[in-house]
Amino acid sequence: MANKVTVLGSLNVDTTLRIARMPQPGETLSTENKSSAAGGKGANQAVAAARAGAETSFIGKVGNDDAGRFMVESLDNDHIDTHAIITDPVVGTGSAFILLDEAGQNSILVYGGSNQQIKAEEVIAREDEIANADFLITQFETPQAATLAAFKVAKQHGVTTILNPAPAAEIDPEILKVTDLVIPNETESAELTGIEVTDEASMDANAKKFREMGVKNLIITVGSKGAYYATEQESGFVPAFKVKAVDTTAAGDTFIGALSSQLKPDLSNVATALVFAQRASSLTVQGLGAMPSIPTVEQIEAASKK
């Protein structure tokens, strides 16, 4: 049985500008290439979940514009249920501008647009999408009031809630009380707990702090090193696969989406699900662009056999 995953999140059209190096303040550089693709943390995570085999649906908001129609179509192409996506009649679709240098590092500027307009009551009205899921995933590219409302609905229906607190922001403590699993990177984790992530002991300290704040389960992604996990039953570190990164955009989103496709709602198989998620994100960083480089379950399984 495929996992059922609902994502509440952002829909952005990403424009990637390829440059030799990052510009200095006041400096003008020419770009080597410019490309546009569907993106946004929410959309990326939903596509990663769907391509990894999960039955996926999406709750979000787009503008009444070509970019919005393009985003909905992009999700439809990956067989994601899009009927809970709302069209905002006034505010345009979100967008992001990605500066990508020759070393594969990126800097991203995001315009929230209609993503920021989604209201708590609109989310509550989509109770069926949440109630029918095994997992509800959200990030911080949509308002926290909408997240809190969605997670409360999820908890009423026994749905496992996953919070990706990215981009890092001050968080409503009420959200953490209805979060089953939090998945920050090391910077975001340190920002939320006040404990710098340097080694496994500091990760254990982060897990303890999150438990005090109301979240029993934690996964910290540590870039090319791997991922730390701490559940009520166990904790450990799963190393990343060694690959040559071309573009790290959407690596974290792929990880979360792929993880949700394999994880059991009680998180009892977290270590094996993490290996699958690491394999998926190792494939993403070897391709250009966010969504185009997110792998399918066939590609992930083929890479696992090598």
Is 199 assigned a catalytic role?
no
Half-sphere exposure of 112 (CA within 13 A, CB side): 11
DSSP state of 185: B
* Residue 236 amino acid letter: G
Q: What are 155's two structure tokens?
A: 């908890």
Crossing angle (nearest 10°) for helices 251-262 and 270-284:
140
Q: Is 62 marked within a binding site?
A: no
Q: Is 224 marked within a binding site?
A: yes
Q: Is 293 marked within a binding site?
A: yes
Answer yes or no: are the C-beta atoms of 38 and 28 closer than 8 Å.
no
How far apart CA 244 and CA 104 sit, in angstroms, is 9
Domains of the chain by residue range: 4-11+41-91+116-305
pLDDT tens-digit series, residues 213-266? 999 999 999 988 999 999 999 999 999 898 888 877 789 999 999 999 999 999
**How do 135-139 and 106-111 pair as beta strands?**
unpaired
Q: What is the pLDDT of residue 290?
A: 75
Active site residue: 81, 204, 253, 266, which one? 253
Q: What is the pLDDT of residue 182?
A: 98
pTM for the model stands at 0.93
Low-confidence ranges of the chain (pLDDT < 50): none
How far apart CA 37 and CA 35 sit, in angstroms, is 7
Q: Is 26 marked within a binding site?
A: no
Q: Is 40 marked within a binding site?
A: yes
**What CATH class does 4-11+41-91+116-305 carry?**
alpha beta
* Residue 281 amino acid letter: S
Q: What is the pLDDT of residue 202?
A: 96
Answer yes or no: are the C-beta atoms of 62 and 68 closer than 8 Å.
yes
**Nearest in space to 42 (alpha carbons), one of 88, 90, 74, 3:** 74
Q: What is the pLDDT of residue 91?
A: 98
Residue 138 to residues 66, 123, 164, Cα–Cα distance (Å): 25, 12, 6
Q: What is the pLDDT of residue 288?
A: 76
pLDDT tens-digit series, residues 124-137? 999 999 999 999 99
Q: What is the pLDDT of residue 291?
A: 84
